């Protein structure tokens, strides 16, 4: 076995990481994660860390699940790979499609498999435009999305997403044309003097304003995450989604719920759209579909679009080598069987999310915390210099990074977006593990307050 230093040297010599400043990483050395069990990961130098982020929002059932590994092994021995092009299919892909029909809302009976969430959103973009061609309205090709939304990192994903730094790196002509953005429903950061309810309505009505600006006859679809994940765990006010649904219905545009993070129990319902009571035409999924054990994504296609594609579509010129990968599908089938057998979603809703909420609320009393919000097993705190006013630290973001690093030192993975700190732990986390998580958050907050005072930020 190599030493940590060897791993770090080789890592910075050869490995280009996603979303990483390589000079900074090289100066510091990567954290080398070597194994994991339950809700804990272990590093090459022996640190045990509570994984408050489920890997990257994906390891829903926790690490070390023998059944998932057995499913992969068994399937690889039997049929490690075959494609679903050219009129072929494989049992695991068919079985997974059948189970997804059962666990998704009633309008969904069909799925297109991909290797990731980004590919699923690529598929979405192509299918939305294909639908309107088939419907005889090819001029309907504009897709509306939100600033600071995240829909993946392929060109289509980055274009659909509203991450300005990603758009900048695509360059002026780099994004997929025909995608426009409206503001996000981020009340704490952008709500001004409005109440959350008023602000939710205002943001939702931006969709209608944008539709009228573009021209209703040109708008194809709207896409959004039920709760924005990577953008900083933006939980919309209660007024937001019902108003969006009203507008989508009024103009007859297609509606995609990007459930890559919110899907499979994260909110306490199977899908985030069910939590918020919306009726999308598409669900983008990935991550917890296989608990992250093997890469797989998918796009659930609602009856309105599926019927058009199947009955009038002819060939849809789209697909990936790994669409419906047998081993990935077999793991996803085993994953969803465990979800059902252990009643994972029900447990989140009735037991563990209410417990997390009761403990998370305590953080609101901390002097650094301007807001402590949570929904299901998603929870965030906003770090602020003066908790009486909704105003961020200057410079913004540094206190968040300090706090994130303090968490890691204290044995907790917590994610930071600017000065919003958040968690999305495995759905199987226990009460005592939540207690441990909270005590690590409080210790890290206290250390962050000391640091902020020393820096003169407080
Ligand atoms: N949609 C949403 C809502 C996502 O969160 C994707 C699409 C893309 O999925 P793939 O499998 O192509 O990565 C995601 C991915 C973060 C972070 O920093 C979040 C994601 C990926 C990487 C980092 O929180 N989400």
Same domain? For 83 and 37 the reply is no
- Measured by CA distance, the residue closest to atom 15 of ligand 1 is 152
Same domain? For 234 and 103 the reply is yes
Same domain? For 87 and 180 the reply is yes
- Pairing state between β 48-51 and 108-114: unpaired
**Whole-angstrom Cα distance, residue 428 to residue 40?**
12
How is 252-292 classified by DSSP, letter by letter?
T-EEEEE-TTTTTTTTSSSSHHHHHT---SEEEE-GGGTTT
**Which of the listed residues 17, 52, 55, 57 should we mutate to test ligand 1's pocket, taking the one with most ligand atoms within 8 A of CB?**
57
pLDDT at 319: 97
Same domain? For 47 and 178 the reply is no
- Looking at the domain assignment, is residue 4 inside a domain? no
Walk along the chain (458 residues) and give the pLDDT tens digit of each residue.
899 999 999 999 999 999 999 999 999 999 999 999 999 999 999 999 999 999 999 999 999 999 999 999 999 999 999 999 999 999 999 999 999 999 999 999 999 999 999 999 999 999 999 999 999 999 999 999 999 999 999 999 999 999 999 999 999 999 999 999 999 999 999 999 999 999 999 999 999 999 999 999 999 999 999 999 999 999 999 999 999 999 999 999 999 999 999 999 999 999 999 999 999 999 999 999 999 999 999 999 999 999 999 999 999 999 999 999 999 999 999 999 999 999 999 999 999 999 999 999 999 999 999 999 999 999 999 999 999 999 999 989 999 999 999 999 999 999 999 999 999 999 999 999 999 999 999 999 999 999 999 999 88
Cβ–ligand 1 distance for 150 under 6 Å, the answer yes
pLDDT at 214: 98
Same domain? For 49 and 140 the reply is no
Same domain? For 302 and 389 the reply is no
Determine the distance separating the centroid of ligand 1 and the alpha carbon of 293, expressed in angstroms: 16
pLDDT at 1: 86
Residue 369's domain spans which residues?
Answer: 31-64+344-455
- Measured by CA distance, the residue closest to atom 16 of ligand 1 is 230
Q: Which of ligand 1's atoms lies nearest the C-alpha of 297?
A: 11
Same domain? For 145 and 237 the reply is yes
- Looking at the domain assignment, is residue 7 inside a domain? no
End residue of a domain, out of 313, 341, 369: 341
pLDDT at 196: 98
- Pairing state between β 297-302 and 254-258: unpaired
pLDDT at 423: 98
Cβ–ligand 1 distance for 188 under 6 Å, the answer no
Using a cut of 0.95, tell me whether the model's pTM lies above it. Answer: yes
Determine the distance separating the centroid of ligand 1 and the alpha carbon of 378, expressed in angstroms: 15
- Looking at the domain assignment, is residue 18 inside a domain? no
CA 221, 226, 228, 229 torsion-angle sign: negative
- Looking at the domain assignment, is residue 2 inside a domain? no
Same domain? For 103 and 57 the reply is no
- Measured by CA distance, the residue closest to atom 20 of ligand 1 is 230
Same domain? For 44 and 126 the reply is no
Cβ–ligand 1 distance for 274 under 6 Å, the answer no
Determine the distance separating the centroid of ligand 1 and the alpha carbon of 260, expressed in angstroms: 7
Cβ–ligand 1 distance for 146 under 6 Å, the answer no
- Looking at the domain assignment, is residue 12 inside a domain? no
- Looking at the domain assignment, is residue 352 inside a domain? yes
Same domain? For 292 and 408 the reply is no
Tokens of 226: 């039920």
Q: Which of ligand 1's atoms lies nearest the C-alpha of 53?
A: 24
CA 304, 305, 306, 309 torsion-angle sign: positive
- Pairing state between β 420-423 and 142-146: unpaired
End residue of a domain, out of 341, 369, 386: 341
End residue of a domain, out of 290, 310, 341: 341
CATH number for the domain spanning 358: value is 3.90.1150.10
Domain count, the chain: 2
């Amino acid at each position: 076995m190599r030493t940590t230093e060897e791993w770090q040297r080789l890592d910075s010599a050869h490995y280009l990481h996603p979303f990483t400043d390589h000079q900074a990483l090289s100066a510091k050395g990567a954290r080398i994660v070597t194994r994991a069990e339950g809700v804990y990961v272990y590093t090459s130098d022996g640190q045990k860390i509570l994984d408050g982020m489920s890997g990257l929002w994906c390891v829903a059932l926790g690490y070390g699940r023998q059944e998932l590994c057995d499913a992969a092994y068994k399937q690889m021995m039997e049929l490690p790979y075959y494609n679903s092009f050219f009129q072929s299919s494989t049992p695991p892909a068919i079985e997974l499609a059948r189970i997804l029909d059962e666990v998704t809302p009633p309008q969904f009976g069909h799925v297109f498999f991909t290797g990731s969430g980004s590919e699923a959103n690529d598929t979405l973009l192509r299918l939305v435009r294909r639908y309107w061609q088939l419907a005889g309205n090819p001029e309907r090709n504009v897709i509306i999305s939100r600033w600071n939304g995240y829909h993946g990192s392929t060109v289509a994903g980055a274009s659909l997403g509203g991450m300005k730094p990603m758009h900048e790196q695509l360059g002026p002509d780099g994004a997929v044309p025909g995608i426009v953005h409206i503001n996000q429903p981020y009340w704490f950061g952008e709500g001004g003097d409005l109440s959350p309810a008023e602000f939710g309505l205002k943001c939702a009505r931006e969709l209608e304003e944008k539709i009228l600006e573009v021209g209703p006859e040109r708008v194809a679809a709207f896409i959004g995450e039920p709760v924005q994940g990577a953008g900083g765990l933006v939980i919309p006010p209660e007024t937001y989604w019902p108003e969006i649904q009203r507008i989508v219905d009024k103009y007859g545009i297609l509606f995609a719920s990007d459930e890559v993070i919110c899907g499979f129990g994260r909110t306490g319902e199977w899908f985030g759209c069910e939590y918020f009571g919306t009726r999308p035409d598409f669900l983008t999924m990935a991550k917890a579909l296989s608990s992250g054990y093997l890469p797989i994504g998918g796009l659930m296609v609602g009856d309105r679009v599926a019927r058009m594609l199947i009955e009038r579509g002819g060939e849809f010129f789209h697909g990936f080598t790994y669409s419906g990968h047998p081993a990935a599908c077999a793991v996803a089938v085993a994953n969803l069987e465990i979800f059902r057998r252990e009643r994972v979603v029900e447990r989140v809703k009735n037991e563990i999310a209410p417990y997390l909420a009761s403990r998370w609320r305590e953080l609101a009393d901390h002097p650094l915390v301007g807001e402590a919000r949570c929904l299901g097993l998603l929870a965030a705190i906003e770090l602020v210099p003066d908790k009486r006013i909704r105003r961020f630290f200057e410079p913004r973001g540094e206190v968040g990074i300090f706090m994130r690093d303090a968490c890691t030192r204290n044995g907790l993975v917590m994610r930071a977006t600017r000065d919003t700190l958040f968690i999305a732990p495995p759905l199987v986390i226990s009460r005592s593990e939540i207690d441990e998580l909270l005590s690590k958050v409080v210790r890290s907050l206290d250390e962050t307050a000391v640091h902020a005072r020393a820096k003169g930020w407080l």
